[in-house]
Structure 1
Amino acid sequence: MSRLRQLLGDHAEVVRQRPGYLLRLPDGPGQEGTWDTDVAEFEHFAALGRDALAAGEADRAADLLRRALAVWRGPVLGGVTEFLAEAERGRLEEMRLTVLERRIDADFALGRHAELVSELIGLSAAHPLREQLCGQLMTALYRCGRQADALTVYQDCRRTLADELGIDPTPSLQGLYQSILVAAPVLATPGEAAPRAEEHRQAPAELPPALWDFTGREQEAIRLRTQLATRPRAGTPAVGVVTGMPGVGKTSLVLHVAHQLVDDYVDGQLWVDLRGSSSSPLDPADALADLLRALGVDSRDIPAGLPERTRLYRSTLADRRCLIMLDDAAGAWQVRPLVPAAPGCGVLVTGRSRLSALEGVRPLVLGTFTRAEATALLCRTVGEERLAADPESAEELAEACGGLPLAVRIAGSRLAARPHWTPRSLADRLTDPRRTLDELCLADLRVRDTLEAGYRRLAEPAQRALRMLARHDVPSFSARTASLLLELPLDAAQDVLDLLVDDHLLEPVEGENRGYRMHRLVRAFGLERATWGEPGREQHAALDRAGRPHRRLVSKRGEVA
């Protein structure tokens, strides 16, 4: 101990203090401007930097805090006894990190956010539970135009806190997250305007126009509006799903309801065509990119992967009231990533398949028009005066269209364009199976094309089944009859029938005589496809197996097959 006193000289005093010794040092630097301990030097410049930052002197504060941090060389208390290291290491390390965070704040005030990103990434990785560093990294990324990356940093921090400590981020970090979502002006770089904040706040209005002559569907519209007004639980948006056969008017109904609800969704209405009935359905990642751009997210901020885009989409909608219409979905796989978690949002989905795999949703299966509804649409399209002279023929025309809204609309439009036609003459044309689908065509509206799109979605066994079952011209048939027609075991035939039911190309018949029925226009399409692709002998053999007397099979050119 005497040797230590000799080494220290007059710079310090070593005194006995049980259970050991106490080293007393003078305050401030020595006469030559040097410090006796680096801890004292660090604390001195740290205090000056803190005061300068509080006074708004960012440039001076940054220099002073850098001088404080420059005192550190290697690990804290390296080379001392373990007892002393354990006693002081935590306090000193906390002091260093606090000074470091203040220096970063000073650099932010000087507009140095781009230079801070790489440093903050390393610091956040080294201290994943330190929310101040996480918030600073989020701010730096946002000011560099990387909003999506900033939101991802928050999600990673939130997940780490939950996994490691079982807690949520502090209110201040959550508030920063919300500010980044809405591009709050407070986050703008000092001296600059907020980056396109007004663009982020602009509410999208993407719904296509509703039909001016929308007819019927009162009960279905009430059910959809009720579903959109009911939210099962927190964190769950209201979802309404409409399915049905091709041309049954799913999109028309949903658009009709969506326009009635516009005032309930003040933050905008979004619409996406998922192209489920086409040969190339829209990838949900591409759909998310479209939705994010509509919500004001810059294309440069949209991440590449589906999970990352889904997280950003749900974060962007977290505090908004938006209506999202997802039209023509191919399946639940396409819809799930596009459903937000925000309870203020509503989602309307249409699709030809039943979409029964969507969790917590009871799809509305839309049927064909009643005779009264079909006749009402004809009256709106053609004019009541023209149909009043022969109301029975108008009903016959509606019946010839099978109550399919698309077919009724095409028939009515063709009739309106030809004043010399009568409803009965057009009905007679439609009853000829060789002309039915040719007659139901007007410009780009074609029943055949709509059914063709559904047919292409089917696997080959289901396509063959549709062709063979179309020849069995009865009001309904059983699964056993189908197994005979298709020359399949009963279980295998049932599986194929279920595929057709799922795509609404067959309708199950309830009641005592359970079975299946085929819509007359689907049957016409199936007969047409059978004529093109099924040998006549095979069709005759199928009908013989089912015990049905078959008619002569006539080809599209009128030849006996």
Structure 2
Amino acid sequence: MSEHFWFTVLGPVRAQRGSREIELGSRQQRAVLAVLLLRENGHASLSELIEAVWGTAPPRTAGQTIRTYIHRLRKSLGPAHDAGTSFIVSAGNGYALRVSPDQLDLSVFRQRVAMAEGAVGTGHHARAIAHLRDALDLWRGEPLAGIPGTYAMSQRNRLEALRLVAVERRINVEYELGRFGEATAELFDLVAKHPLNERFREMLMFSLCKTGRQAEALAVYREVWDLLSEDLGAEPGPRLQVLHERVRRADPELLVSDIFPDPEVGSAVPESPAGTTLGVSPPRAPSPPPADLPTLDGRDDELDLVDTLLAVDAQGVATVAIGVIVVMARAGRTTRVEDWADRIAHRFPDGHIYLDLRGYDSSSPAMTPMEASGSILRSLGVASSLLPSGVEGRTALYRTLLSGRRILLVLDNARDAEQIRPLLTGTPSSLVVVTS
């Protein structure tokens, strides 16, 4: 029986064979391994590896240096199986690292979160809490510790966002069991580490209120009010303001559902698909485009114009990140735009997402921003039960997950600007195409 391999990204990037630590070489070489691990069996192109290591100003020898790093990593890791095949395989114009789900801490994290959701769905809340604690115990300090560069920073932020969502979910389940006091000390720590995170302030105020510490709950609100007004010239959000008023009145009807209004308890959570990168999946669609629409004949000029959206500056960043196509109904808009999207999808290696917003669908109501943002987040690998409960929270998580990534998002059949505004990526590295 071969020795078990174990890889970590939820802390320092490490590899072990049995109990023995594997030497991974320089920081740049470990950065290459980190990219391959974060792909979770997916393919990383040579250009992506170069950008991850050197950013937008790589040396002329970058390609050959990456190949040298791959050679050294293959030698260090040795065979992946008894058959003697390497962990790292050539794939297209790049590489992929083949690991089973039980060999990578990030994959095990996802599995345990899924197990927790299954336990909640069958009413075993204590078991769900145990699974979530096991999942969070996999974290060993700062993710990707010791890996330099903007790529590592963006991935670090994305991983931290996933961790905090899991923490929030665990506290939610504890509230369902009436364990308000147990979360209080942890929430004080979370508020100290994330002082502008109003969600943690809200949860801390709720815990304090439910354990008879009304004055402390009001003090938490005063603190965030002072912080926001002094640093940002802003006020706390409406949810926090409403909670403050209810705490001030010692509202006896304050319930867990007021803090977690849309927990979606019991939702099935599929395992992360092969190739998922921190919740960002390879090209797949939340809902597939219709297959039987007519073609959009005579629209080549318009679609050629949309191609200009893909113009990039000297640093490889798109100069325009949003395009809008308006076509009269039943003109084959969806089919033609999807054909165009398929043609340029290779320029967006982190995913191609299609979403029908039903803006002008006589058989179904238009999709709300809440529904649409939830659908996109689920397509990015976020468990339904881990979705933030409001549009603002979902938008923030969505933009954090896409920071620095190259995603093509097609928002088909939009009704108005209000429907699509929360769905804009906020990053020029991705392209949003809206049709109406």
Report TM bin, short chain.
Answer: 0.3 to 0.5
What TM-score, normalized by structure 2, do the two folds share?
0.38
Report which structure shows greater RCO (CA 8 Å, sep ≥6).
Answer: 2
Structure with greater helix share of residues: 1
